[in-house]
Copies of this chain bind each other. A is one copy, B any other.
Amino acid sequence: MQERTLGELAEHVGGHVYGDPNVIIKSAATLRRASEGDISFLTNRKYAKQLRSTKASAVIVGKEAPAAGIPLLIAEDPYYAFMRIMVLLHGHRKHKKTGISSKASISDTAKIGTDCHIHDFVVVEDDTRIKDGCVIYPGAYIGQGVQIGSDSVVYPNVVIYAGCKIGNRVIINANSTIGEDGFGYATHKGVHHKIPQTGSVVIEDDVEIGTCCGIEGGTLNDTVIGHGSKLGDAVTVGHGSRIGPHCLLVAQVGIAGSTTIGHHCVIGGQSGIVGHINIGNNVTIAAQAGVINNVPDNQVILGAPAIEANMGRRAYSMIQYLPEMRQSIRELRGQLKQVTSPDEPDSKESAEQPSDT
């Protein structure tokens, strides 16, 4: 753990200090849990009132932050500054330098770069290529002909099927599967016949994949996860789909096959996207959305079926009024009947109701 002054941290992130720059910072903590020596951050307004009660020694804030009785580190992009300070103070997960275990099973035809750490019970099949600085944790399986770029990390029990191409600085979390056969069957006379899946998976540079994900290999074209995109846990991507660069797919998202997603899209948790459609660039899809049509660039959508977000927020929140609305329609019909046919008895109107809306 590094120890720094607040002034040093401000200089590191290009921010400036409001208050004492000599205060000592040892680690980071949330506003609520921070104590002396901690730096905290405020980027979500929900927690703004904790600014007054926090015991942090300093807080990273944006330019519009309220004054507070404690030292502040004011940054253009406070969450980014927080990230950089976290890296400085705590660093990323460390990997033990194990070298190549004698208990791993590594094919003679595998080409392994320098400074790679391959743990016990890993299997590396024929004709694979793993570049410099990779860490392959116990129980991972690297199928035939797989290529992994430099400085990538494959966590325990990850399975990479034959032929997949993994980029540089990729992180694949435990128990995920890359390149299994796509869900492709030709149904003929009631029997589902498996279609050979000749495509593979390409995971570009700087991608992170959560745990328990499944990225299918393509039927004919490769499935692609674009550089810098990040997938949460239990995400599934169907065969031949292409996800552009710098997307975020939150946990439990499901994308069917042959769909194309542009760059910088954010796809909320548990959303589903059907196959064979195109999602543009900079599209934001809310959690649990169901996307069944093409989406143009820059749209924000929500709901199932997914619609434009402002309209959608109002519309979906009105489902709760359906019983009242239906009742109102009945009453209006009754009242209108009184106006147009005032002589008819009420009972008849009531008797008709069961077939009404």
Are A212 and B177 neighbours in the complex by a CB distance under 8 Å?
yes
Decide if A228 is an interface residue (CB 8 Å cutoff): yes
Please report the C-alpha to C-alpha distance between residue A105 and residue B120 in the assembled complex, in whole angstroms. Answer: 8
Are A248 and B312 neighbours in the complex by a CB distance under 8 Å?
no
- Segment with Cβ contacts to B, from A16-24, A61-69, A77-85, A110-118: A77-85
Residues of chain B within 8 A of A312, CB atoms compared? 320
Residues of chain B within 8 A of A9, CB atoms compared? none
Decide if A28 is an interface residue (CB 8 Å cutoff): yes
Instruction: Give A149-202 interface residues, CB cut-off 8 Å to B.
Output: 155-157, 159, 161-162, 171, 173-177, 180-181, 183, 185-188, 190-198
Closest CB of chain B to A40's CB: distance in Å? 9
Are A96 and B144 neighbours in the complex by a CB distance under 8 Å?
yes
Closest CB of chain B to A11's CB: distance in Å? 18
Residues of chain B within 8 A of A155, CB atoms compared? 159, 161, 180
Instruction: Give A316-357 interface residues, CB cut-off 8 Å to B.
Output: 316-329, 332-333, 335-336, 338-340, 356-357
Please report the C-alpha to C-alpha distance between residue A157 and residue B338 in the assembled complex, in whole angstroms. Answer: 72
Are B256 and A269 neighbours in the complex by a CB distance under 8 Å?
yes
Name, among A141, A323, A332, the residue most crowded by chain B CB atoms within 10 Å (CB to CB). A141
Size class of the A contact interface (CB-based, 8 Å): 35 or more
Residues of chain B within 8 A of A187, CB atoms compared? 80, 248
Are B325 and A316 neighbours in the complex by a CB distance under 8 Å?
no
The listed residue (B46, B77, B317) touching A276 by CB distance below 8 A is B46
Q: Mark A198-221, 1 if CB is under 8 A from B, else 0.
A: 100000000010111110100011
What are the 7 A-B residue pairs with the smallest beta carbon separation, nearest first? A214-B233, A324-B357, A83-B186, A159-B174, A177-B211, A141-B156, A318-B322
Using A287-B290, A303-B319 as known contacts, list a sample of 12 further A-B pairs with CB atoms less than 8 Å apart, ordered by residue number in A.
A83-B195, A157-B159, A175-B176, A183-B230, A185-B230, A192-B228, A214-B233, A236-B251, A251-B256, A318-B322, A319-B322, A322-B325
